[in-house]
Structure 1
């Protein structure tokens, strides 16, 4: 993928669709994932409580968060950063993720629109029900919390002064993905799978080596 010729550093937006309904739903308040999905996660835990033991709820919930981290990395790297060849493919890619790299501070398009996240949530609910029953509810609850954490951290990296060692690290890590090399640092909520697949930004690796020495 060629180096980007334009990156806006303002909290500004552009019109994507002529259709006013599509345009409206392409914007989303950053608190929406919490408002919509946190109650869903709590409901899943309640359903799990009526089916399995508390220890089983705990480990399967953590497993759900872990599964989210895999999805987060894979979706960001191989879907959001797919390099299309056709003009139609390039247009679709821009609508899906390219616009975020051109306008990374657009606060109305920082979290996933419900038109995208809801179908994905339904899809994973049924996949987990098929694969992980009777632990599917608690695994799905953890998966949802992983998603909420991802979108919340993503918004914070672009619009908040993140505090603490971990907060500052995550902010710098993600902004390097935007402003230095978009082919590294695919993890937003954590860098785990970047280390596994060797897509950690070079300066992070060098700093790690220096600390060891």
Structure 2
């Protein structure tokens, strides 16, 4: 995947001839908040049925931490995997390549619910098998992490982030797009970039597109 882009304007290209399939690829950026935040809240409430506030808070933080590792892993080893087959290349473009070609397209910055909901269910079942009665709170933190990730990702491309943390995250993610897409895989946090030595460091030559 090249760090270059086709267009840096808020525009896109059609992916499907079917109007219905094409519509499913254009998602309002608030969708993850509307869909997953209530689900995360419900699982947090379920966690409180079998544990104290203190314990549930700790498990939610553990789920958040696990999300950051999942975010990094998916971005680096799935979204940036370089397939060699024709169908693999097409799937890769649909999944992530189009975002690098059209990074400012605001309608294709979050995952469509027909994809994100089944994936969330798979993680939920896995957590249930791994953590037993403690899984609801961990899963709540994991889903909260996903909401934070998608919101942060949209913000780095389309919001004028004025806080020091917001400015840092925005500049950090834009280095991934416009300077070197083999670095800076963390979006909501650079933690695992430091662990795996893929930090997108700032240099004097940085010139971030607006």
What is the CA–CA distance in structure 2 between the aligned matches of 1:170 and 1:7, rounded to whole Å? 23
What is the CA–CA distance in structure 2 between the aligned matches of 1:29 and 1:62, rounded to whole Å? 27
**Deviation, structure 1 residue 182:** 0.5
Whether the 8 Å contact between 1:52 and 1:134 is mirrored in structure 2 is no
Structure 1 position 142 matched with structure 2 position 141: yes
What is the CA–CA distance in structure 2 between the aligned matches of 1:186 and 1:5, rounded to whole Å? 16
**Deviation, structure 1 residue 19:** 1.7
What is the CA–CA distance in structure 2 between the aligned matches of 1:55 and 1:62, rounded to whole Å? 11
What is the CA–CA distance in structure 1 between the aligned matches of 2:92 and 2:150, rounded to whole Å? 20
What is the CA–CA distance in structure 2 between the aligned matches of 1:167 and 1:96, rounded to whole Å? 26
- Closer, same or farther: CA 5–137 of 1 in aligned 2, 3 Å: closer
Q: Which runs of 5+ in 2 are unaligned?
A: 204-210
1:165-208 per-residue CA deviation (whole Å, 9 max, x = no partner) reads: 1110000000000000000000000100000000012436xxxx
Query: Which residue in the other structure is 1:50 paired with?
Result: 49
RMSD (Å), alpha carbons: 1.2
Structure 1 position 73 matched with structure 2 position 72: yes
What is the CA–CA distance in structure 2 between the aligned matches of 1:6 and 1:53, rounded to whole Å? 49
1:38-76 per-residue CA deviation (whole Å, 9 max, x = no partner) reads: 110111111111122222101100000000000000000
Query: Which residue in the other structure is 1:200 paired with?
Result: 199
Query: Which residue in the other structure is 1:211 paired with?
Result: none
Aligned partner of residue 133 in structure 1, secondary structure: helix
Whether the 8 Å contact between 1:45 and 1:137 is mirrored in structure 2 is yes
1:80-128 per-residue CA deviation (whole Å, 9 max, x = no partner) reads: 0001111211111000000000011111100111121101110011011
Query: Which residue in the other structure is 1:182 paired with?
Result: 181
TM-score by length of 1: 0.92
Size of the alignment, in residue pairs?
203
Query: Which residue in the other structure is 2:160 paired with?
Result: 161
What is the CA–CA distance in structure 1 between the aligned matches of 2:171 and 2:88, rounded to whole Å? 30
Query: Which residue in the other structure is 1:115 paired with?
Result: 114
TM-score by length of 2: 0.93
Q: Which runs of 5+ in 1 are unaligned?
A: 205-213
